[in-house]
Amino acid sequence: MPATVVVGAQWGDEGKGKIVDLLAQEADLVCRYQGGPNAGHTIVVAGDTYKIRQIPTGIIAGKRSAIGAGCVVDPEVLIAELDELEGRGHRTEGLLFVSGNAHLIMPWHVALDGARERRLGRLQVGTTRRGIGPAYADKATRIGIRVQDLLDSKILRQKLELAVAEKNVWLERVYDLAPFDVEEVVTTHLGFAERLASYVADTSLLVDRALRTGERVLFEGAQGTLLDLDHGTYPFVTSSSPIAAGAAVSFGIGPNRINEVVGVAKAYVTRVGEGPFPSEIDGPEHDRVRDLGREFGTVTGRERRCGWLDLVALRFAVRVNGITSLALTKLDVLSEFSELPVCVRYRLPDGSETAEFPAHQSDFHHCRPVFERLPGWGEEIGWDGLPAAARAYVSFVEAALGVPVTLVGTGAARERVLALR
């Protein structure tokens, strides 16, 4: 289809990178529409592993790739990724385009992110401390510094002088941290400007022209639906909109130009950081799923919390994203279990049960999972199809959601994806 969004249907870490990398083989332009270097994609191609944080996954496939206005960009991280990719033989010049309207993550954003989390103590949100939230906060209060500001040294200096003066007050008087030297920050960012100037572009116009000429555009998000700032499990969310509609906002196109939404979900579910997690696994099976799935963060290395597949939350993701098909990843991780619980309803505090995601946070925080248990398949998933019990597991998911599962991930490599339709 001309315009396809790949969206995380859980709490992130669903394996979107591999699915995007696979679909990018048939795309002309791959676009990252939200988030920053707090989220990573791990891609394995021909035995080589890539851990990407900021640049769209399509760059690995040699495709034109764009970072939209809805993203926040850490220039130091971006330059490091460019250098690494070029050092591994990948061309980036003329392939990567960065929106001039995207906002920059500044060093004080990182400092404030960590300081605020430490100050919150046991009430902390569990951010990656990469400065994402403070950068989006400055964007919302209209004091942020944008990528295009790097192209005008006079404007850049003026904005940096104002920003440093304000942020140093917070750093010194509230958090008892060392202030930033404005001249040092200016010098550093003028260096970033020299390196990044050739990548800055009007990405809205780029996407519009691609769609008008019949090119295939693939939009990739970071994080997942349940971390959406408006529709996720607030306050344990990210600071942007990972849902599919965020792609249209980030790249300045009408929502009617999106043709297909591919939701990506693990065959179980994980989440990182704090917050309620109804289907979280208790006991030794938790560590078993975590170790079999190698559930450690691409960016942070943190252990992910693991749970059985939650169809209530997944049905919510189908609704708010308009998901038209589903990619179910890491089905192979479940091969060693003789029985597989699947959460089909929530039991609410008043004793009633619901198959729909609760609208009130108190209900969600105190709900309990109602499981239906499916038989495992107890054998390795090969290249030629799914065992009967594995196929039944997939069919159960399809029937519960009313959405076809078209792709099934059975291993880490790009080639380990089965197309079911």
Look at residue 370 and give its three-state secondary structure: strand
Strand bridging mode 339-347 / 200-201:
unpaired
CA distances from 106 to 9, 135, 178 (A): 30, 7, 15
Question: Active-site residue among 41, 109, 189, 231?
Answer: 41
For 117-142, the DSSP string reads: HHHHGGG-----SSSHHHHHHHHHTT
With left for phi above 0 and alpha for psi between -120 and 50, is residue 325 left, alpha or beta?
beta
Considering Cα of 23, then 24, then 26, then 30, what sign does the dihedral take? positive
Task: Tell which residue, 361, 344, 357, has the closest CA to residue 279.
Answer: 344
As a 3-state breakdown, the chain gives helix, strand, coil percent values, each rounded to 5, of 40, 20, 40
The question of whether 41 is a catalytic residue gets the answer yes
**80 C-beta neighbours (distance < 10 Å), count:** 14
Is residue 188 within 8 Å of residue 104, measured between CB atoms?
no
Residues 6+ apart with CB under 8 A from 178: 171, 172
Could you tell me the two tokens for 140? 């919302």
Look at residue 310 and give its three-state secondary structure: strand
> Rounded CA gap, 116 and 347, in Å?
35
Residues 6+ apart with CB under 8 A from 235: 125
Is residue 15 within 8 Å of residue 409, measured between CB atoms?
yes
The question of whether 83 is a catalytic residue gets the answer no
Could you tell me the two tokens for 388? 């009967």
Task: Tell which residue, 234, 417, 226, has the closest CA to residue 314.
Answer: 226
Is residue 258 within 8 Å of residue 319, measured between CB atoms?
no
Task: Using alpha carbons only, give the angle 102, 8, 356 rounded to the nearest 5 degrees.
Answer: 125
Could you tell me the two tokens for 409? 């991930």
Is residue 243 within 8 Å of residue 231, measured between CB atoms?
yes
Q: Which residues are catalytic?
A: 13, 41
